[in-house]
Chains A and B, each alone.
Chain A
Amino acid sequence: MKREVIRCERLGVEIGGVSVLKGLSFSVAEGDFLAIVGPNGGGKTTLLRVLLGLQKPSEGVVQVFGAAPGRAVGRIGYVPQRLFFDREFPLSVRDVALMGRIALKTPFQHYGKADMQAADEALRIVGLSALSNRRIGALSGGELQRALIARALAGKPQLLLLDEPTASVDPEMKTTIYDLLDHLKSTMTIVLVTHDTGTVSRFVGRVLCLNCSMVLRENPSASPCGEAAQQVYPYPVDLLLHESRNPR
């Protein structure tokens, strides 16, 4: 049996008295590629924040690698939705990737040769080797997104959490990022928050549809994501269904 990476049981989250997630139960096994879809305000980002230990659940049980969220530091790579930072921050692309190693270091340690190599390797995987000395603020939206993926990969994570990595990139870059994830899914467990209801079913193994009370589609190949998307989105959804490439 595959190892369980994430387990949520009757998870509920309230923020400022408003129920954002309620009665959510699901589990993610090692090697899974799970997409979380749903309308804005459906709690997708909140769920990711719970898994990262940034948001405390108000009820239920959450375990990541068999421990409370926030305890599995160093095994999780995180790619935030969009990063608001100073475009003039004096920092190279390599320095940003290097930051992905911080979870593996104790406070007094400085980055060493192995860290540099891991950062360069991560930049190579996302195709940014040529830009590694460029200032981070000089990157385009798609390049920045790939730099943030490189930062997450530099720590050699077993679980990769991505929050709408394709939200601010053009269609071509979107395909590049999905191809990259498709390539990575054989080496790690991936959980992806996205609005691309059409594209995801081509790549992912499972789809979790969140609309406060959740709907879980265990197997998009047997019961296509589109059907679930129609249920959760309050408006017509553009559906492009593809033959699933990874029947479970």
Chain B
Amino acid sequence: MPDLFAYEFIRNAVLASLFASVACGIIGSYVVVKKIGFISGGIAHTAFGGIGLGYYLGINPLFGVIPFSLAAAIAIGLLSRKAKVAEDTAIGAFWAVGMAVGVILIGLTPGYAPNLFSYLFGNILTVSVADLWMIAVLDILIAALTWLFSKEFLALSFDEEYAEVSGVKTTRFYLLLLCLIALTVVILVRVAGIVLVIALLTIPAAIARVFSSTLRGMMGLATVLSALFCLGGLWLSWQLDLASGATIIMLAGIAFLLVHSGRSFISFLKAR
């Protein structure tokens, strides 16, 4: 194993896994306790339009994803709050339209679209040093904002009406939370890809919730779990010659299944 670290792309992959896990643990916990998994999936998929935009403009597709996913987060958030459209309808529409925009823009780009598959399903072994810097900066931004507004986000997640009555600008903080989800998606695209990020946003936090008594503890545990899944999945994919993103998600999925079936089994035994 140590000789693996001689390769720069392995070092980058490990660092990217660790950075991504921090954002995953913090933001994933909010996604799980506020039950906004579907809206997060919508933001992630809409972000594919940003990948297309990046290809079309000939820039790093991740730079296309940042504005696109932020715009998607705000648009979905406002539409579901203010317009008389059912939330899941708004999300579903954005989900598909965002991906359609991506497909059209990639089609309009002359020539072959390299690495397209890696943006859809992740390829952590292709993370560059420039990507790493961007991931690190986004990580710090996400951690700082959630620390600054921790009591507002907590009140928003637990009892939004009470937060509103207490003078918290709930719509503003909700949109900010969706924007932070969008930025986490940007970080996770490299690790798991647009299609698979939602699993990393929900599974580590969902497992952590079972064992945590505070939101902060849940975030910490979710970060550790996420790092275990990413590094474990990376190692397995290397050993078995499988796609890294999909292997990471499979590992997380199996852990999720084991924890929850184990829990049901224990409560079944207790009930007898």
Contacts and interface: CB of A to CB of B under 8 A. Distances in A.
Contacts of A102: 151-152, 155, 163, 166-168
A110 interface: yes
Nearest to B168: A102
A89 B165 contact: no
A110 B151 contact: yes
A31 interface: no
B60 interface: no
A99 B159 CA distance: 10
A232 interface: no
A100 B209 CA distance: 24
A53 interface: yes
A54 B214 contact: no
Contacts of A86: 33, 35
A107 B149 contact: yes
Contacts of A78: 162, 165
Nearest to A100: B166
Contacts of A76: 165
A107 B166 CA distance: 12
A92 B165 contact: no
Contact of A90 (B152, B155, B214): B214
A99 B155 contact: yes
A91 B210 CA distance: 12
Contacts of A155: 166
Given A53-B165, A54-B165, A111 B151 contact: yes
B159 A52 contact: no
A89 B33 contact: yes
B218 interface: yes
B71 interface: no
Interface string A62-99: 00000000100110101010010110111110011001
Contact of A99 (B162, B167, B209, B218): B162
Interface string B212-229: 111101100000000000
A13 B142 CA distance: 42
A235 interface: no
A73 B158 contact: no
B164 interface: yes
B5 to A, nearest CB: 36
B171 to A, nearest CB: 13
Contact of B150 (A52, A73, A110): A110
Which of A52, A91, A111 has the largest count of B CB atoms less than 10 A from its CB? A91
Interface in B124-173: 148-152, 154-155, 157-159, 161-168
Interface of A: 52-54, 70, 73-74, 76, 78, 80, 83, 85-86, 88-92, 95-96, 99-100, 102-103, 105, 107-108, 110-111, 135, 151, 155
21 contacts: A52-B165, A53-B165, A54-B161, A73-B167, A74-B166, A74-B167, A76-B165, A78-B165, A80-B159, A80-B161, A90-B213, A92-B213, A96-B158, A99-B158, A99-B159, A102-B151, A102-B166, A102-B168, A103-B166, A103-B167, A151-B162
The 4 closest A-B pairs by CB, nearest first: A73-B167, A103-B166, A90-B212, A102-B166
